[in-house]
Amino acid sequence: MKNIYYIIILSFILFSCEDDGQVIDPISEQANKLNGTWKVKDSNSIIFNGVNVNYFSTMTLNFSNGSKDGGNFSTIHNEVTGTEVWPFEGSWSFLDITDPND
């Protein structure tokens, strides 16, 4: 009878242990949420030097390949020359803010 209890307890322990699955890096997960096309909400949503401006109302910003190492971006915009805030394409990365004293 004692052996049956041990077998039952052992089976509960074995079956309650499951694989933890793939560990997802939280920084990569957040970067991946950037992927997609982003647009300015409306012409009233941009304030430049304290003034509501309509410069960027047609701007579209597309993020792709986001990961903890960074990613790529591209834009479609027709702002007044000299007011562009993004180049037409490029790459991005997170700022390394690790403390060198750690």
Answer whether residue 94 is part of any domain. Answer: yes
Q: Which amino acid is at 38?
A: W
The 3-state DSSP composition of the chain as helix, strand, coil percent (nearest 5) reads: 25, 25, 50
Amino acid 90: pLDDT? 93
Answer whether residue 35 is part of any domain. Answer: yes
Answer whether residue 64 is part of any domain. Answer: yes
**Segment 9-41, tens digit of pLDDT:** 766 666 665 666 677 788 888 888 989 999 888
Q: Provide the percentage of residues in the chain whose pLDDT is more than 90.
A: 15
Amino acid 26: pLDDT? 85
Domain that holds residue 72: 26-102
Amino acid 102: pLDDT? 62
Answer whether residue 11 is part of any domain. Answer: no
Answer whether residue 31 is part of any domain. Answer: yes
Answer whether residue 53 is part of any domain. Answer: yes
Average pLDDT value for residue range 65-72? 89
Answer whether residue 7 is part of any domain. Answer: no
Amino acid 88: pLDDT? 85
